Amino acid sequence: MEHILHFGLGSFARAHLLDYTADAGGWDVTGVSLRSTAIRDGLVEQGYNYVLCVQEMGIKKIDILRDVLVAADDPQAVLEAMAEAKIISATVTEKGYHLDAKGVLDLNDPAIASDLAGHGPRTLIGFLAYGLAGRTRPVTVMSCDNRIENGDVLQAAVARFAQAAGLIIHWDSTRFPNSMVDRITPATTDSVRKMSGDIMAVPTEAFREWVIEDDFAGPRPDWPGVQFVTDVAPHELRKLRMLNGAHSLLAYAGLACGFTYVHEAVTDPDLRDLVEQLMTEAGNTLPASVKGQAPAYAKALIARFENPQLVHRLDQIAMDGSQKVPYRFVGTLRAGRADAVVEGIKAWIAFCISETHADRRLNDPKASEITEAVHSDNPDAALLELVGAVDLFELIVES
């Protein structure tokens, strides 16, 4: 049995990487939770097995998780597991990379500064830098997070950390493939737990997609249906600008209209028009190799969003906006005329302002900066500054 060490055992990884790997056969997975003990404690009771509740397909048992380590309890055990693994993968969400507004590792971020000072490590970046330092055996580090150039960004962050910490990494034997990941995975609910009889059950849709840069340092599972390509960028742009851009627009504009779920917001005629317009605008910015797929992709996305069985909360999508807005909206806007995307950014700004005025702290790693921006002399400009788009002030705010 070959082995993957995976950082971040949230629902998405359990519905995507683990599902594909279970289908491939011949590989198992050790999970690492960076801080929380909840997933380990929930899963250990059931031998690390859990079920996926796949819409239209039913219950699927996933039994390839071998162990769950909690990094905060025992960082040394994680570093030892890293030394053995041929593939180290990660889904720690956008904020787990600790990047600044320009997309560069923020050495002043408290968690990164603490890892650099040698207390820990506690972050994915710190673990990778210390765990890879001095290693000569080949290893593939595979980001499965939903962001542009996820592998390149992760490698750059680890390199910056290693340089600051004086660690030597043998880059020749280390690969960081980029990938595009997709499967809508709403947070689990009591009714899913009850229906499946598993307190750790993960609800997800039938659709799944994974495109990976064919750049591995060693063996990899034979994941069924995965596309291995030389350039993932066109697929990332298609997915992030169209699917995730539309999701974020529905979240901010939909919450403002009083909706709770994606399937409700997307059936509102005005929001539906706006979302279709955003997908058309985003599709127009795509590289030639995938541009032709955009209309059919948009149609398929609308059908996925309309699925009432998914029960996907808009407030789940609205969280961490400071991390998502840059590549879901701002990138599209820089690539071409996009009026519906402008509406999306305005809806995010309005969301930040109304939540702050209602005294609700945002679920966002930049929550304090957002509060400060909202209370500043020019909230629009200050908020745009946080997502690296203050130069687009006139286009966005004065349009």
Residues making contact with ligand CS2 (CB under 6 A): 146, 182-184, 244, 247, 316-317, 324
Angle between helices 379-386 and 367-374 (to 10 degrees): 160
Beta bridge partners of 209: 182
- Minimum distance of ligand CS2 from residue 79's CB (angstroms): 30
CB 240, min distance to ligand CS2, A: 8
In whole angstroms, the minimum distance from the beta carbon of 367 to ligand CS2 comes to: 17
Number of H helices, E strands in the chain: 21, 12
Nearer to ligand CS2 by Cβ, of 122 and 247: the residue is 247
Residue nearest to ligand CS2 (CB): 247
- The candidate with the shortest Cα–Cα distance to 180, out of 327, 54, 376, is 327
Nearer to ligand CS2 (CB atom), residue 133 or residue 226: 226
Q: Which is nearer to ligand CS2, 184 or 265 (CB)?
A: 184
Residue whose token pair is 């998780």: 65
Residue 127 vs 210, nearer CB to ligand CS2: 210
For strand 139-143 and strand 174-175, is the pairing parallel, antiparallel, or unpaired? Answer: parallel
- Closest CA relative to residue 333, chosen from 399, 254, 241: 241
How far is C-alpha 387 from the geometric centre of its chain's CA atoms? Answer: 17
For residue 227, report the phi and psi dihedrals to the nearest 5 degrees.
-90, 125
Between 44 and 206, CB nearer to ligand CS2: 206
Q: Judged by CB, which is closer to ligand CS2: 40, or 247?
A: 247
Min separation Cβ 191 and ligand CS2, Å = 20
Q: Which has the closest alpha carbon to 313: 366, 367, 250? A: 250
**Element housing 259 (H / E):** none
d(CA 261, CA 253): 12
CB of 195 to ligand CS2, least distance (A): 21
Show Cβ contacts of residue 384 under 8 Å, excluding neighbours closer than 6 positions.
345, 349, 390, 392, 393, 396, 397
Cβ distance to ligand CS2 smaller for residue 112 or 317: 317
Q: Measured from the CB of residue 93, what is the shortest distance to ligand CS2 in angstroms? A: 9
Closest distance to ligand CS2 from the beta carbon of 329 (Å): 12
The smaller minimum CB distance to ligand CS2, of residues 98 and 324, is found at: 324
Is the dihedral angle over the CA atoms 216, 218, 219, 220 positive or is it negative?
A: negative
Task: Give min distance, CB of 313 to ligand CS2, in A.
Answer: 9
Of the candidates 319, 197, 341, the one whose C-alpha atom is nearest the C-alpha of residue 255 is 319
Element (H, E) at 319: none
Smallest distance from the beta carbon of 377 to ligand CS2, in angstroms?
A: 31
Could you give the C-alpha distances from 149 to 5, 75, 383, in angstroms and in order?
21, 28, 24
Under a CB-based contact definition with an 8 Å cutoff, are residues 307 and 264 in contact?
no
Looking at beta carbons only, is 122 or 324 nearer to ligand CS2?
Answer: 324
Q: Which is nearer to ligand CS2, 201 or 382 (CB)?
A: 201
> At its nearest, how many Å lie between ligand CS2 and the CB of residue 183?
5
Sequence-distant (6+) residues with CB within 8 A of 120 are 75, 114, 126
Q: Which among 28, 31, 37 has a CA at the least distance from the CA of 6?
A: 31
